[in-house]
């Protein structure tokens, strides 16, 4: 990410949007919108320095702290994604979900060979209902995961299925769920009034 220009992108974003907030004494809320993305929180102290301050030892130190924090949160995010995929698609043998395939994305110089071509083949075989040339990831026994992570919950209001109590509770508190619930209540009231 750093080699592909993350820091320049963060500096540009900071100059365009963040400085306006700071000049107005507005706190940056790292729980909303673009501010949630990996990189902004980790380099916040570095971004707050002037271009001159960034060149001195303190600036370089804050930059290195940002890099280390970036590595940590990226690893944590990748683990969380893998755990979510495993819990959602690979751990509950009773759920009817399409097979999940693992593709090797480590070397971008052979991306087409390792990712694009296999992905197209997998999707085409799935759509045609034919046997795929690639082997899907194996399903895993649910006993190896906490019950709370493999239990499924169905929201009848939103017509969605959730895996794990954490996702279920987050959904029940979400604005989206509340909006759908209100919309359905209104529709029911209108239907009663019209009949």
189 shares its domain with 106: no
40 shares its domain with 106: no
pLDDT grade, residue 20 (50/70/90)? confident
What CA–CA distance (Å, rounded) separates 47 from 54? 8
User: Does a structural domain hold residue 141?
Assistant: no
39 shares its domain with 77: yes
User: Does a structural domain hold residue 144?
Assistant: no
2 shares its domain with 85: yes
Buried b (16+ CB within 10 A) or exposed e, 120-137: eebeeeeeeeeebeeeee
Tens digit of pLDDT for each residue in 134-192?
Answer: 999 888 765 544 544 557 889 999 988 887 788 888 899 999 999 999 999 998 888 88
Tens digit of pLDDT for each residue in 79-118?
Answer: 999 888 887 788 766 667 788 899 999 998 999 999 999 9
Tens digit of pLDDT for each residue in 116-133?
Answer: 999 999 999 999 999 999
What CA–CA distance (Å, rounded) separates 191 from 193? 5
> Which pLDDT score is estimated for 190?
86
Provide DSSP, 10-30: HHHHIIIIIHHHHHTTPPP-T
> Which pLDDT score is estimated for 61?
96
User: Does a structural domain hold residue 40?
Assistant: yes
85 shares its domain with 115: no
127 shares its domain with 155: no
Calculate mean pLDDT across residues 22-28.
Answer: 73
The alpha-carbon radius of gyration of the chain (Å, integer) is 23
10 shares its domain with 36: yes
Q: Which range of residues forms the domain containing residue 89?
A: 1-94
Tens digit of pLDDT for each residue in 36-82?
Answer: 888 888 998 898 888 899 999 999 999 999 999 999 999 999 999 98
21 shares its domain with 43: yes
Instruction: Taking each helix axis as running N to C, give the angle between helix 175-194 and helix 165-173, from 0 to 180 degrees, rounded to the nearest 10.
Output: 60
User: What do you get for the CA distance between the two ends of the chain, in Å?
Assistant: 60
Per the structure, the count of domains in the chain is: 3
């Amino acid at each position: 990410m750093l080699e592909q220009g993350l820091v320049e992108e963060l500096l540009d974003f900071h100059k365009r949007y963040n400085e306006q907030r700071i000049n107005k004494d507005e706190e940056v809320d790292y729980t909303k919108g673009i501010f949630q993305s990996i990189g902004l929180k980790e380099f916040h102290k570095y971004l707050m320095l002037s271009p001159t301050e960034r060149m001195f030892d303190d600036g370089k130190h804050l930059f290195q702290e940002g890099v280390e924090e970036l590595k940590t949160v990226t690893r944590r995010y990748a683990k969380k994604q893998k755990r979510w995929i495993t819990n959602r698609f690979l751990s509950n043998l009773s759920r009817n979900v399409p097979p999940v395939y693992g593709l090797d994305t480590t070397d971008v110089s052979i991306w087409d060979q390792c990712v694009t071509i296999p992905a197209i083949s997998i999707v085409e075989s799935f759509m045609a209902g034919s046997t795929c040339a690639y082997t899907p990831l194996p399903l895993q026994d649910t006993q190896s995961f906490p019950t709370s992570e493999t239990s499924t919950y169905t929201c009848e209001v939103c017509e969605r299925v959730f895996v794990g109590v954490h996702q279920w509770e987050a959904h029940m508190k979400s604005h989206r769920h509340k909006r759908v619930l209100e919309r359905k209540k209104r529709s029911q009231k209108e239907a009663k009034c019209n009949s």
